[in-house]
Amino acid sequence: MSKTPRLDRRAFLKATGATVIAAAGAEVVAGCSSDNAPAAPKAAERLRIASTDPTKGIGVDPRSVGQGTSSMVAYHLYEGLMSLDNDKYLFVLAESAQPNADATKWTVRLRDGVKFHNGQPVKAADVVYSIRSLATPPGNRASVYADVDLAGMKALDARTVEIPLKRPRGDFKEGVLSTFSLVFPDGTTDFSAGIGTGPYKLQSVDGQNVRLTANEAYWGAQPSVRDLEFIRIADPAARLNALKSGEADYVVGISAVGAAAEKGNHAVLLQRGGTVTANALSFAMNQNLAPFNDPRVRRALRLAVDRPQLTKNALLGMASEAQDLVGKGLPGYPTDLGDRSRNIAEARELLKAAGVTQLTIRAADIVPGMLDATRLFGQQLAEAGVTLTINPVPVDSFYADLPGLAKNPFQTFYYANRPAATHLANVTSQHSVFNVTGTGPDYWARLQAAQVIVDDKARATAFDALQHELYDTGGDILWAYQDQLDASKPGISGVQRRGLLPTFGTAQLA
C-alpha cells in the first residue's frame, strides 16, 4: 500500500510511461487495389491490434469473455441475437423478438440463411443450447439470464425459439438479448476452434495473442482486412510505443498523456470516441460495508471530489465531467439532475461527524489515467481531513476474481456508457457480479417492479425514478466520461465500436 503523493499537471505530462514493448512481429500492412475490385475492397492483408485485458480470457470461449482483448476477439468470432449500436438496439442473428401479453414469454425468430464457420446453418436448437451454456458455470454471464426459465426453453421450429421467464421482463430485449447473447453450435463443449457466425474465423492462438482470418462465407458484408492479429500488451505507454515502432497498426486504449505527447506526430492518428461510447469512471463505494454504509460518508465523498480538476489534470481535458450516473447521451438518462458542485466545507463536517479520517482504495489503471486520477483524488480528500491509502493492483488481475468484486469496500471502477435499462439490469441487479456499490433488497424490489412493466413509456418512467435514487444515495462517485482514446497508423478507416471497444469487420486501409 502507498500513501497518496503530491501530483500536478507537470508530473502528468512528464509521466510518459514504460517503454518495454511486447514484440509481435513486424510485418508491414500492405494495401492493394484494382479497377475491378468488389464493393468491399481488399484493403489489407493483416491488421495488428495491440490491447489489454484485465482478465485471463482470450475470447475464443464465449462462456469466459472478459474485458478488452477477449471481448474484441469474441465479437469478431461470434454474434448475438441483438446488440447495442451507439444509442440503438439492433437485431443481429434474430430478426424479431416478441413478448406475450404479460412479458412472461418471448418468441425469438432467427434470421434466415446464416451459417456457422463450419458450414452448418444456425438453428433454434443452437440458440437454446447457447443460452443454457452461457447461463450456467463456467459461463461468467449467468447473471444476464437469471430470469430465464432455462429448462422451459424450446425450439418451436428450425428458426423460432420460445423463451419463458421466471418473472415478467418488459425489458428483455434491452436487458438480456442486447447485453450478451452470443450463439454457437448445439452441443459444443470444446471451444478451441472458435466456431461462431462472425465475420472472422479463428486461425491460431499463440500464448495470449490471437490471429483471426476473414470468414469468406459470412452472411453480411465481407471484411476488407483479411487477417486480424490481437496482441496483448498491458501497459498503455508500451502499446503506443508498439505503434510508433511499427509492431502494431492499431492500439486500443492509450493515456491522455500519450495522446497529448503525439499531438503533432503525423505518423500517429488519434482515434477518439465521444460520450456515447465513453468510459464512465467511478470511485465505487460499497454501501454494504463500513464506512460506506453510512450515507453521510457517501455524500461527503461526492462533495469532496473536484471533478473539473480530475478531468482537466488526470485526463488532460479529453473527457467530460460526470454527475454520478451512467448513460449520458443515451436513452433513459435524466435531464433534470441537480448541480453536484464541490463543497469541501460540508464534506469535512460530514466526515468529522461520521468519524472518518482514513480510507483505503483498491486501484488500477483498468483504463489509462485511472491510477493517476486516484492519486489526485487523494489530495482532494486531504482537504476534507481524510488520508487516502492506495492499494495498487496489477491491471491484468483486477478482474481475476469476479465474485470478489462486490466484497471490496472502495475501489476504482469503470462502466461502459450504456442506456439506463441495460446498465441497471446488468450492473445494479441482485445477481450481477458488477454490483460493486452494493445495492440491496429494497432497491432490487423497485428495479424488478420497473422491469416487469410491458408498456415502454411507463417502464422508462420507472427507470427514471431509479436513476434519481442512485444519483441521490447510490455508491458511485462517477466523476468523468472519458473518451475512449485509441491510436493507429494513418490511413485506417471504417473502424466501428461496440460499446467501448473497436471492431474491425468494416475496417479499411487506404
In the chain, domain spans: 18-73+198-273+486-509, 82-177, 276-482
The label of the residue with cell 438453428 reads 123
Q: For residue 167, give the C-alpha cell.
A: 418473472
User: Which amino acid makes up residue 274?
Assistant: G
Q: Looking at the domain that runs over 18-73+198-273+486-509, which CATH code has it been given?
A: 3.40.190.10
Instruction: Please name the helix (run of DSSP H) or strand (run of DSSP E) that holds residue 250, with its range, or none.
Output: strand 250-251
CATH 3.10.105.10 fits 276-482, yes or no: yes
What is the per-residue pLDDT for 183?
Answer: 98
Please state the φ and ψ torsions of residue 86, each to the nearest 5 degrees: 55, -110
CA distance 270 to 82: 30
pTM score:
0.78
Name the 3-class secondary structure at 445. Answer: helix
Q: With the C-alpha atoms ordered 165, 169, 170, 173, is the resulting torsion angle positive or negative? A: negative
CA distance 284 to 140: 21
What is the per-residue pLDDT for 480?
Answer: 96
Measure Cα distances from 311 to 235, 358, 485 in Å.
21, 24, 14
> Cis ω on the peptide bond leading into residue 138 (within 30° of 0)?
yes
What is the per-residue pLDDT for 33?
Answer: 33
Q: CA angle, 424 as apex, 418 and 427 as ends, to 5°?
A: 90
181: nearest Cα among 112, 230, 110: 110
Q: Contacts from 471-474 at CB under 8 Å and sequence distance 24+?
A: 471/323, 471/324, 471/325, 471/334, 471/337, 473/295, 473/298, 474/287, 474/298, 474/324, 474/437, 474/439
Residue 114 gets the label, from left (phi > 0), alpha (psi -120 to 50) or beta, of beta
Q: Looking at the domain that runs over 82-177, which CATH code has it been given?
A: 3.90.76.10
Please state the φ and ψ torsions of residue 193, each to the nearest 5 degrees: -90, -10
Please state the φ and ψ torsions of residue 211, each to the nearest 5 degrees: -115, 135
What is the per-residue pLDDT for 44?
Answer: 56
Give the single-character DSSP code of 111.
P
Question: What residues have CB less than 8 Å from 386, skipping those under 6 apart?
Answer: 304, 351, 356, 357, 358, 359
What is the per-residue pLDDT for 127?
Answer: 98
Residue 233 gets the label, from left (phi > 0), alpha (psi -120 to 50) or beta, of beta
| pLDDT tens series, the chain, 510 aa | 444 443 333 333 333 333 222 223 322 233 333 333 334 444 458 999 999 887 777 899 999 887 789 999 999 999 999 998 877 889 999 999 999 999 999 999 999 999 999 999 999 999 999 999 999 988 888 889 999 999 999 999 999 999 999 999 999 999 999 999 999 999 999 999 999 999 999 999 997 799 999 999 999 999 999 999 999 998 999 999 999 999 999 999 998 889 999 988 999 999 888 888 898 999 999 999 999 999 999 999 999 999 999 999 989 888 999 999 999 989 899 989 877 899 999 999 999 999 999 999 999 998 888 999 999 999 999 999 999 999 999 988 898 888 899 999 999 999 989 999 999 998 999 989 899 999 999 999 999 999 999 999 999 999 999 999 999 999 999 999 998 899 999 999 999 988 778 999 999 987
